[in-house]
Amino acid sequence: MAKKLLIVIDGPAGAGKSTVARILAKKLGYRYLDTGATYRVVALKAEQEGITPEMTEELRRLCAEIEIKFEEAEQGQRVYCDGRDVTEAIRTPEISMLASKISQQRVVREAMTQLQRRVGGPGVVAEGRDMGTVVFPQADVKFYLDATPQERGRRRYRELLARGISADLSQVIEETIKRDQEDQNRKVAPLQMAQGAFYIDSTGMSPEEVVQKMLAEISKRGGNGAGDGGK
């Protein structure tokens, strides 16, 4: 029986991390951890309470009081904030940009890192932007999923339209590039490829093709790459 591994996927916005991580986790029989959602929940709560990214002490209090939970459902993973389902509410472009700014605050980063570490472990596929560098540097397998800004912008654009959110493609691509700059240049846990990570450029690839590439690499690391539920 193959041992259960801790697998992490890092990469920029729109690289397909969430989609790929969900598929990979299902094939391996692992749990899926969307760490980016934790920052989105904090951003949503901050917006509701009128807290800006510069209000450090208010953010510290918010992070200490907030309750974030993940639950599996037939339609996929649901995210809850203080008992309320916020799965859709945290996926708007406005919350995405606010989450990027709020995540630059050390008090938020440290609080969410501790939360993520409590949830993560063997048998988990965790995706985010600092999984292999900060949160789980001891991960058994590390991936860095990338794609061109244009490709990532198009994916995000299609995702927004599918949710019934009107969007302008050129603006989405512009926001993607801006998000890259913010993530790569922030002082706390900047986006970068972890040492020993397996790099995948997903431009022009389907999620299933990316997953197959990952499964092949996982099997080399001693995990179950056959996709039989980890049994």
Average pLDDT, the chain: 91
- Of 168 and 190, the structure prediction assigns the larger pLDDT to 168
Q: How many other CB atoms sit within 10 Å of the CB of residue 199?
A: 11
Residue 229 has pLDDT above 70, yes or no: no
The pLDDT-based confidence of 75 (bands split at 50, 70, 90) is confident
Are the CB atoms for 87 and 40 separated by under 8 Å?
no
Check residue 230 and give its pLDDT: 40
Distance CA(157)–CA(152), nearest Å, equals 9
How do beta strands 68-73 and 76-81 pair?
antiparallel
The amino acid present at 228, given as its one-letter code, is D
The pLDDT value given to residue 221: 78
Question: Token digits for 85?
Answer: 């389902």
The structural domains of the chain, ordered by start, are 6-218 (3.40.50.300)
